[in-house]
Structure 1
């Protein structure tokens, strides 16, 4: 998506600077929150198995749906915390600082490629929620979008560093 924002030659001419930066930070928060959620879910499962506790008999959702709920809650918390962090970091900053940060994001080709893969994964994750036999709820749908963002990011890393075997160019 960030590829479709306008990108002028100079940072001081960058339009939609706040939108670009907020979109970038929100997207990274979704990916980060889902990774944290995977860690929480994995830890819970490991502890349950170490204690040899039986799975709760009242649970009617599959493991994948339970994971998506945990990932969804974690993603929502992460979006909230990261949004507060962005507001705190950029509070009182001049417009040129927003423009400079956004322009640097738009100038970085590897960042644009990461965004392309991440957004594609998010769409695929949302589409995958339709494959469940029962409705998953909106929190699990958020978790599915997040899982798609992680898959998209990992797909990009495999494509860039595995298949293409190239490092991003270092700009001075």
Structure 2
């Protein structure tokens, strides 16, 4: 995602600084909300196991509950960052916006994380859109949840590649 924005040699010259920072923060809110939402969905699914066949619940209820909860969490996380970013940056000078945006684009680890997470996001969005039935009343939330989980799968893939296979070396 960060590679799509222009990057200057100096922070003072960084164009699109508010767009870069807002995109980064909203995307991280989306990811954080997905993680929290999927954890809530998992807990709800485990609580539903009482008094029923565990295999039947895990096979039918858990995936839909987790996807729906991940989608809800992603929306809530993004909405929280819509409020959080202006609150955090209120009264800041333009150079602070430029510097934060420039540092995001300068950080090679951040660029690599973005590459992997965006790839996971796009693949999961296509898959979820094709897989979730059109008549499902929670279709949009499940697609958003699947997209968020794909984003996190991309991050896990990056961490496995960078730190597991390559030992942290570039």
Q: Report the alpha carbon displacement of residue 166 of structure 1 after superposing the two structures with TM.
A: 1.6
Q: Which residue of 2 aligns with 1:155?
A: 157
Q: Which residue of 1 aligns with 2:102?
A: 103
Quick one: distance in 1 between partners of 2:132 and 2:87? 42
RMSD, aligned α-carbons: 1.9
Q: Which residue of 2 aligns with 1:33?
A: 33
Q: Which residue of 2 aligns with 1:82?
A: 81
TM-score, length-normalised on structure 1?
0.87
Q: How many residues align?
A: 162
Kindly indicate which of the two structures has a greater share of residues assigned to helix: 2
Q: Report the alpha carbon displacement of residue 164 of structure 1 after superposing the two structures with TM.
A: 0.8
Structure 1, unpaired ranges of 5+:
56-60
Q: Which residue of 2 aligns with 1:140?
A: 142
Q: Report the alpha carbon displacement of residue 27 of structure 1 after superposing the two structures with TM.
A: 1.2
Any runs of at least 4 consecutive aligned residues in structure 1 with deviations exceeding 4 A, and if so which? none
2:3–2:111 contact (8 Å) kept in structure 1: yes
Can you list the C-alpha shifts for 1:110-140, whole angstroms capped at 9, x where unaligned? Answer: 0000000010010011011144261252221
